[in-house]
């Protein structure tokens, strides 16, 4: 049934300001026309929805999420047969938070593409997914690239199976191959139905000084070329200024968390390359408040890295780079969120400043970048049109224009009057259909509350020990055990 | 409906040989009468079952099983809400293998007693369970007493919860208390519905030379006294000759794996104490063949310990000790059973020599002890009457006598002609009801086959790496990383 | 040459107060006479030393030191051929600090007895050493009892050699033996020239809840009996109330750090046993100030243990127990003293409150126990006569009495006016000879300053990294690597 | 005093065969003339040495040694003040084995250059040293690049100091810098007196699949250019085919162990680059016998890497590459050489096949490459002239030509008749002076025998334990502890 949306200020992502007095006609999931209501040729069976006093913006797009983020042994065992349900739940949370499209940049290909297709077929109401599968060059969740302890604790059977689900033929061993041989593997992987190619320019597992390069410039070029030959976009994971430069020169369409470059600020020459190459810059910013909280819990040296990451954000604004909103958004299992060690990550920040949480982190992003000097309209585009263009899906998505898919967010407050107003979601329309926000997610898994204490726990907890060290020999130094 | 079992040779566990030409009348779950069929007063509605040519023995009793044995993080997460199902499955496997009663000597109290009660109420057909809950003094599955690595890998939430389920108020911290204070905690724990008390005389976690004592002689006496005061039996976990002696002197009713005493053989003085104190001796023997296989996979030093354990078995036979059959029987998750490291345990032996497997290990026990010189009738009693007497349940169980519960096993071959014949199970009768062996277990969990390889696995496995070390610097020594 | 010490107030450790106007005649290393100068029969060649205004007390005796305390891989490798020099240096530091006799209760037997003998023969001027060698039952410095990581890092050749030097035939494997067999090993070890026997009642390596027992009561009795049969005293290492009780009942002559019993206070019954059995109580107290500093750096749970240790000290004062001064005194290599982890030990306290430092910790002990209510004369005896009596060397040592060895300390301030005054050492006389305090130690090893930075270090340190973690993936949790 | 060497067959490294009937006149350390004795203008005071029947070849040159190879904590602590002595000993061993010049490609700059200068000044008789100091990009011996466990075991003081000695300003943090900033650090390091620049193209620490790149192609070019600008040669450490290609393109003068490229054989294109670029190829070959022994002790996967390394050697012979002899030659502390883990390295091979031992590994190299098809004269040049040319020291070294430094080896057997004959060293002449081979090394350190067992060791070893695992619970899986 066609719909006519009336009454709202429309911020279409194209014009430099919002427009009042226009209505949007939606038919068969797309925007059929935009104009003064009087001017529109409206079908007889149209349903008119009055959004008077509201603000209509394009559906938000997140350039970097991980719908199955909680790759801890516990989570992956507990939900062993339900990875698609976890992904579905995350995609529903995303939709509920205004993101009509999300780009999953690391996860298990088979499960992700299966959920993607079910959403595309309308079987599930959730955020539209486009996904990369594995990051080419990375080993699996239970490896030195992520958590190497698990391969000694989990059974080989399970460890191998999980790593296989994430890695398939695109793991660390590619580092041993020639550029051409890497290209062949990537071509093979593309053939299995991913939507874009993401590869590692820098390593992931590094925990100390420096960041190794995963692939040479030539290999990176071969990978990007394979993606382009297949009509896909290419992007990379970087964590050093040289890793960043190599990827820019390799022809990436966008680069993930390009502001994260260790303690070294991105040099001017490299900043300029973004504009010259037309490469999208995905930033991971923190709010000023978030940074000041974090500063208290990290070492002086780590702080130099967070500081450089912040300076890079500021320098990229106005550098000519096209900036994209993204936040590594994911859902971490609630029992892990309780762990004290999480406080040194951005998920450990107070919820209002925590960048990586799927439901709220993109709002943090918008407020953080507002602080760093992006204009209101730049912010809107970073979260919509820029993402669509960088991922080459702007024929259908990213702005409110006739002919495009009707992905819309209705806000109570004007987003151009303050980034905070993005949180005032009144309604979400995806593919022309209004989303029943209250029904999302229907069956909470990772977002469910933890069960209360078992009967035995009180009897256990009233004893004090919990493995605390015995000062039986009070002059002895504690060793690590 | 009353039943009359006819035709079989009856080996009742009391007489020194089998008797032919007698029938057994069963009514209301108990043995109503035994005698020549002609002499019996048989109710009108009796059902007569002809076991001509078969051998009727008391239901087998296993003095040491762990119905939830697979305390690996993977298993405990995977079946987080189904521990009772795991226990049920194990109890059904036990029943199918001829064990009408099993004594679970370490496990989660609440789940075990819940399943126990459902079986006792007839809601589930499975082996009768009597259980200890925790071994007093031991910390939980995710601690230095079992697998200390897990507390760093699993979430605190889950690690604490699991440990609480096993430990409650009876963990390691008791070592810091006075004997009287330990006694109070044990009394409290008894009050929660366990069937007997098991405590640690020696530690469990030791991996190198020596075996610490968990409790002093006085504390052990206090614990045993608490059990007796509550009308329960007491037993201990030992792994050194001195740990064994302390427990004998503390008044234990039986002692677990008392032949396992490191490289030191039990001295004569201590052997004699079994008889003097009327304490049951639970042995963990291996067959000669099993020992010779094991010898190939363990170090010379470990071999001295297996050898001493074997010598202890031989010395206890004929020492006056009452010997009880037990095997730590449990089901280990199939993915763990594939791990190479398992080969140094008795579960890693060829199935016919593997002591610890719940379904078959007791048959190994019987063959092993036959090799070590026990007579056919002694073997039968070790697996029936002796266990019942040591656990003080011989009013109801352990022999085929009028008035006792009708727990019976029907064998095709004569068990007094060779221990191997215990495997020829024709029928199992528990509480007077014939068990439908084919229906056990109904819904396999840990005994189910592993799922086949996922689609991605072939693509992963054709690459060679699997974390193999890189001889990039072929003169460097491999460090542990 | 005979000496006549005049002018000082003599606090002889026998009388309940100091005495003025007496002189002490020393001849051939012993106290030949004490009395009014006029009454003494003084040899013609006597040298008279006037200590007018000073205070003369018996030489201090420390009931628990470790002259080779720094059992870190680095130290033990660096001084591989100089362990006797390390021991010598420590014994000289001890002497310089007023301790004319120290009891080394854990260390390498051969090196310790060699230095002991050289000191006894007068070849070295240093504190008199009496030593136990290994603590019977403990494994070596590079084992789970101390630092288990080393056996994976050091060469087997060195690790085995070091462990052998400390352990010989008295290690952890004794836990596997019968009491009688343990007794034989102890007898053998005694035969190698140790001065007293120390054994483990509780384990040393424990780091979490509880404290295992190393030996049963019966084994402890056998060990103590072996010591007594050989004319030696016996003592034990304890860290739980039950470990303490067992050792008291086993007939120990003294018990080390008997106030350290985890979070549990020693029960009255056990406190009383000290007096009944005539067993010396070695306490490890902290000053109130030290405790308050420590409280800031340890967990709440650990604090319960320090608190109980303090309460035990207070309860033992006035319980009838004979209290002995000791402090685990040793010298830790200066590079280790710099490590942050040391702050959770008592060596990490400000120097004036640090109990374990060889040169100063005994002064901390005296001030701490003064705070806990010991009278001035009790304090003096705890540091002199009580130690001599507990170790059965009071025929020669511990008081200023005619016939005893002339071990004396001359103080500027009155020790009965405040424990702080023990620090006012004016002179030390050992075996009748005045010690040249300025010459001790002659060739500093562990007490030497660390060399300054190497040329390269500034160039290295100006870079920031030092293994700091890379927040390359700022949402990832840090794993242990 | 001038010398005239007569009688020998001279294989000068230039001509394609040996020449008889010529004499060599040496004066002031250099070759003054070569010719028929009758034709030479010989000084009056000449000393004539008759080498009739012998073979005179240029002094051997090893393109890759580590004179301080034993970077284990134990060694570095034990000889903390004697690193120069360790280096001296190694340089003497090298000279004794026919190597008149060695190129140390990783070690502590200050100590190496100090010994180098003392040798150059004639204060020490030893092999001529030219050295790189650190491998640019590598972290120190006590880091994840070598042995990361040490930084938790050694004191921070010592760990930092050692790492500083090796790393200075050229460590892992360079990976975070721009190419230009890396260049500045390299220039600074060159200024401290190294002889050539070695940098990391691939990582060192990798232990599993793949080999990260340390530096991009551009950074590698900047480093090589800095070396050339300073008149030095540049070389790299590689372990993958792509790492190799990058270094060839960056303009390296030689590449270390370029045959070690994981499981992937070097592609033809890259093989050809060696000739095109005039880059020296350092190979690490094993003998056929060595390979077959090794195959028994490594996993199938590791074997694919050793196999590829061997194929690379064979393919590089005759590819146009200039092949250089080298072997990572060093002395590993004797206690480490005893460790079982060493058997998976080439040092663990039988001595005759072990490539990495300083005294003998170069002989293994020569026999191995003979097997792989190098001609006798190619072999000689790989060990002499080729090395001199690649390192740009061929004005002075590498052949027997008039004007060059008189570095000569006199062999009993003809090296052109079999590589084995290089072992028949009769005399070594360095800088015109005959070396007293018997006097080298004068004071053995790492080559000294280990001291025999200490008195205590027999008493310790007769007990069996040594940390062996206790099968106290024989059904439990061993965890890593």
Question: Pick from D344, D368, D397: which residue ends a domain?
Answer: D397
C142/C146 Cα distance (integer angstroms): 6
* Cβ–Cβ contact C462 with A under 8 A: no
Band of pLDDT at residue D298, cut at 50, 70 and 90? confident
Indicate yes or no: CB of B465 within 8 angstroms of CB of A165.
no
* Cβ–Cβ contact A134 with D under 8 A: no
Helix (H, G, I), strand (E, B) or coil at D358: coil
Q: Taking residues B252-281, what's their average pLDDT?
A: 96
Cis amide bond preceding B441, omega within 30: yes
* Cβ–Cβ contact C172 with D under 8 A: yes
Question: Pick from C397, C427, C454: which residue ends a domain?
Answer: C397
Task: State whether A253 and A332 are in the same domain.
Answer: yes
Q: Is residue C136 part of a domain?
A: yes
* Cβ–Cβ contact A218 with B under 8 A: no
Predicted local confidence at residue C465, as pLDDT? 53
Helix (H, G, I), strand (E, B) or coil at D187: helix
Check which CATH number belongs to the domain holding B388 and give it: 3.20.20.140
Task: State whether C12 and C122 are in the same domain.
Answer: no
Indicate yes or no: CB of D302 within 8 angstroms of CB of B468.
yes
Residue indicated by tokens 């050489």: D337
* Cβ–Cβ contact B461 with D under 8 A: no
Q: Is residue D422 part of a domain?
A: yes
Q: Which residues of B touch A155 (CB under 8 A)?
A: 72, 74, 333, 335-336, 338-339
Enter the pTM of the model: 0.95
By Cβ distance, the residue of C178, C216, C263 closest to B213 is C216
By Cβ distance, the residue of B171, B240, B263 closest to C209 is B171
Task: State whether D76 and D36 are in the same domain.
Answer: no
Q: Taking residues C305-330, what's their average pLDDT?
A: 95
Task: State whether A84 and A16 are in the same domain.
Answer: no
Task: State whether C73 and C21 are in the same domain.
Answer: no
How many interchain CB pairs under 8 A, A with C?
Answer: 167
B432: Cα separation from own chain's centroid: 24
Indicate yes or no: CB of B74 within 8 angstroms of CB of A73.
yes
What tens digit of pLDDT does each residue of B3-48 get? 999 999 999 999 999 999 999 999 999 999 999 999 999 999 999 9
What tens digit of pLDDT does each residue of D250-293 get? 999 999 999 999 999 999 999 999 999 999 999 999 999 999 99
Torsion-angle region of residue A455: left (phi > 0), alpha (psi -120 to 50) or beta? Answer: alpha
Task: State whether D92 and D121 are in the same domain.
Answer: yes
Q: Which residues of C touch B268 (CB under 8 A)?
A: none
Band of pLDDT at residue C206, cut at 50, 70 and 90? low
Where does A22-178 show beta strands of DSSP type E? 23-27, 30-35, 47-50, 55-58, 60-65, 99-104, 128-131
Q: Is the pLDDT of residue B479 over 50?
A: no
Q: Is the pLDDT of residue D207 over 90?
A: no
Q: Taking residues C90-97, what's their average pLDDT?
A: 98
A135/D432 Cα distance (integer angstroms): 61
Comparing C-alpha atoms, which of B97, B106, B85 is closest to residue B127? B97
Task: State whether A99 and A168 are in the same domain.
Answer: yes
By Cβ distance, the residue of A139, A209, A267 closest to D173 is A209
What tens digit of pLDDT does each residue of D320-379 get? 899 999 999 999 999 999 888 787 788 889 989 999 999 999 999 999 999 999 999 999
Task: State whether C296 and C413 are in the same domain.
Answer: no
C270/C361 Cα distance (integer angstroms): 27
Predicted local confidence at residue C479, as pLDDT? 46
Where does A257-381 show beta strands of DSSP type E? 280-283, 322-325
* Strands of C234-237's sheet in order across: C197-200, C234-237, C254-256, C280-283, C322-325
Q: Taking residues C433-439, what's their average pLDDT?
A: 96
Q: Is the ipTM of this complex over 0.90?
A: yes
By Cβ distance, the residue of D181, D208, D213 closest to A172 is D208
Task: State whether C48 and C69 are in the same domain.
Answer: no
Helix (H, G, I), strand (E, B) or coil at A263: strand
Predicted local confidence at residue C469, as pLDDT? 47
Contact D460, B186 (CB under 8 A): no
Q: Is residue B140 part of a domain?
A: yes
Predicted local confidence at residue C481, as pLDDT? 34
Contact A115, A104 (CB under 8 A): no
- Look at strands A322-325 and A280-283 and give their pairing: parallel
No. of helices (H) and no. of strands (E), chain A: 16, 17
Q: Taking residues C287-316, what's their average pLDDT?
A: 92
- Look at strands B9-10 and D433-434 and give their pairing: unpaired
Indicate yes or no: CB of A475 within 8 angstroms of CB of C202.
no
Band of pLDDT at residue D474, cut at 50, 70 and 90? low
**Residue C214 to residues B242, B247, C169, Cα–Cα distance (Å):** 11, 16, 16
Range of the domain at A351: 60-396
D141 CB-near residues (< 8 Å, 6+ apart): D71, D76, D147, D150, D162, D163, D166
Q: Which residues of B touch D346 (CB under 8 A)?
A: 474-475
Q: Which residues of A touch B467 (CB under 8 A)?
A: 143-144, 151
Cα Rg for chain C, rounded, in angstroms? 23
Predicted local confidence at residue A460, as pLDDT? 84
Q: Give backbone dihedrals phi and psi of B388, rounded to 5 degrees, phi first.
A: -60, -40
Question: Pick from D345, D367, D397: which residue ends a domain?
Answer: D397
A387-401, B466-480, C236-250, D204-218: segment of lowest average pLDDT? B466-480
Task: State whether D254 and D391 are in the same domain.
Answer: yes
Q: Is the pLDDT of residue D72 over 60?
A: yes
Q: Is the pLDDT of residue B481 over 50?
A: no
Q: Is residue A466 part of a domain?
A: no
Where does D123-177 show beta strands of DSSP type E? 128-131
**Regions of chain A short of the pLDDT cut 70:** 206-208, 463-481
Predicted local confidence at residue D351, as pLDDT? 86
Q: Is the pLDDT of residue C209 over 80?
A: no
* Strands of B55-58's sheet in order across: B9-10, B55-58, B408-411, B425-430, B433-434
Indicate yes or no: CB of B165 within 8 angstroms of CB of A456.
yes
A180 CB-near residues (< 8 Å, 6+ apart): A222
Predicted local confidence at residue B70, as pLDDT? 95
Mean pLDDT, chain D, whole residue set: 93
Indicate yes or no: CB of A339 within 8 angstroms of CB of C478.
no
Contact D183, D124 (CB under 8 A): no
Indicate yes or no: CB of A464 within 8 angstroms of CB of C346.
no
D window 54-113, beta carbon within 8 A of C: 72-74, 77-78, 80, 108-110
Band of pLDDT at residue B351, cut at 50, 70 and 90? confident
Q: Is residue B387 part of a domain?
A: yes
Q: Taking residues B409-420, what's their average pLDDT?
A: 98
No. of helices (H) and no. of strands (E), chain C: 16, 17
Domain count of the fold of chain C: 2
By Cβ distance, the residue of C151, C158, C465 closest to D74 is C158
Task: State whether A277 and A402 are in the same domain.
Answer: no
What tens digit of pLDDT does each residue of B123-140 get? 999 999 999 999 999 999
Helix (H, G, I), strand (E, B) or coil at D410: strand
Predicted local confidence at residue D345, as pLDDT? 83
Q: Is residue C453 part of a domain?
A: no
Cis amide bond preceding D441, omega within 30: yes
Q: Is residue D454 part of a domain?
A: no
By Cβ distance, the residue of B181, B209, B267 closest to C139 is B209
Band of pLDDT at residue D480, cut at 50, 70 and 90? very low
Q: Is residue A481 part of a domain?
A: no
* Cβ–Cβ contact A153 with C under 8 A: no
Task: State whether C198 and C249 are in the same domain.
Answer: yes
Sign of CA dihedral D343, D346, D352, D357: negative
Indicate yes or no: CB of D336 within 8 angstroms of CB of B477.
yes
Indicate yes or no: CB of B173 within 8 angstroms of CB of A467.
no
* Cβ–Cβ contact A143 with D under 8 A: yes
* Cβ–Cβ contact B153 with D under 8 A: no
Check which CATH number belongs to the domain holding A10 and give it: 2.30.40.10
Nearest CA in chain C to B204: C212
D54 CB-near residues (< 8 Å, 6+ apart): D7, D8, D9, D410, D411, D412, D426, D427
- Specify which residues D103 forms β-bridges with: D130
Q: Which chains touch A (3 or more CB pairs under 8 A)?
A: B, C, D
For residue C218, give how far its alpha carbon lies from the nearest alpha carbon of chain B (Å). Answer: 9
Nearest CA in chain A to C150: A479
- Look at strands D322-325 and D280-283 and give their pairing: parallel
D449/D441 Cα distance (integer angstroms): 13
D window 298-337, beta carbon within 8 A of C: 333, 335-336
């Amino acid at each position: 049934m066609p719909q006519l949306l009336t009454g709202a200020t429309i911020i279409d992502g194209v014009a430099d300001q919002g427009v009042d007095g226009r209505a949007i006609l939606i038919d068969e999931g797309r925007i059929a026309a935009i104009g003064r209501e009087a001017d529109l040729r409206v079908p007889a069976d149209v349903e008119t929805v009055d959004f008077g006093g509201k603000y209509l913006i394009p559906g938000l797009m997140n350039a970097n999420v991980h719908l199955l983020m909680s790759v801890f042994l516990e989570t992956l065992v507990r939900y062993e047969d339900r990875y698609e349900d976890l992904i579905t739940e995350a995609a529903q949370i995303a939709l509920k938070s205004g993101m009509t499209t999300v780009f999953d940049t690391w996860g298990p290909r088979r499960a992700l593409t299966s959920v993607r297709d079910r959403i595309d077929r309308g079987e599930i109401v959730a955020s539209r997914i486009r996904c990369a599968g594995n990051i080419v060059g990375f080993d699996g969740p239970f490896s030195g690239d992520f958590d190497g302890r698990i391969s000694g604790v989990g059974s080989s059977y399970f460890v191998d199976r999980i790593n296989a689900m994430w890695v398939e033929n695109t793991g660390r061993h590619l580092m041993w191959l020639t550029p051409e041989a890497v290209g062949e593997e990537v071509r093979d992987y593309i053939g299995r139905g991913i939507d874009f190619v993401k590869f590692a320019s820098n390593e992931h597992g590094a925990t100390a000084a420096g960041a190794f390069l995963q692939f040479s410039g030539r290999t990176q070029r071969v990978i990007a070329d394979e993606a382009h030959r297949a009509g896909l976009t290419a992007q990379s994971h970087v964590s050093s200024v040289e890793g960043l430069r190599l990827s820019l020169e390799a022809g990436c369409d966008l680069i993930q968390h390009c502001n994260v470059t260790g303690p070294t600020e991105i040099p001017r020459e490299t900043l300029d390359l973004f504009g010259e190459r037309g490469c999208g810059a995905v930033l991971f910013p923190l709010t000023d408040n978030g940074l000041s909280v974090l500063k208290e819990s990290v070492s002086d040296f780590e702080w130099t890295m967070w500081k450089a990451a912040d300076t890079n954000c500021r320098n990229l604004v106005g550098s000519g780079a096209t900036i994209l909103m993204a936040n590594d958004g994911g859902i971490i299992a609630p029992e892990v969120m309780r762990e004290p060690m999480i406080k040194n990550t951005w998920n450990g920040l107070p919820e209002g400043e925590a960048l990586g949480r799927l439901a709220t982190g993109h709002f943090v992003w918008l407020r953080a970048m507002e602080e760093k000097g992006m204009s209101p309209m730049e912010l809107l585009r970073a979260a919509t049109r820029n993402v669509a263009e960088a991922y080459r899906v702007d024929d259908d998505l990213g702005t409110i224009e006739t002919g495009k898919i009707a992905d819309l967010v209705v806000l109570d407050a004007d987003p151009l009057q303050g980034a905070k107003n993005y949180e005032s979601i009144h309604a979400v329309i995806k593919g022309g259909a209004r989303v029943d926000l209250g029904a999302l997610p229907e069956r909470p898994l990772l977002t469910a509350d933890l069960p209360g204490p078992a009967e035995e726990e009180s009897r256990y907890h009233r004893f004090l020990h919990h493995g605390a060290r015995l000062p039986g020999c009070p002059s002895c130094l504690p060793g690590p055990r």
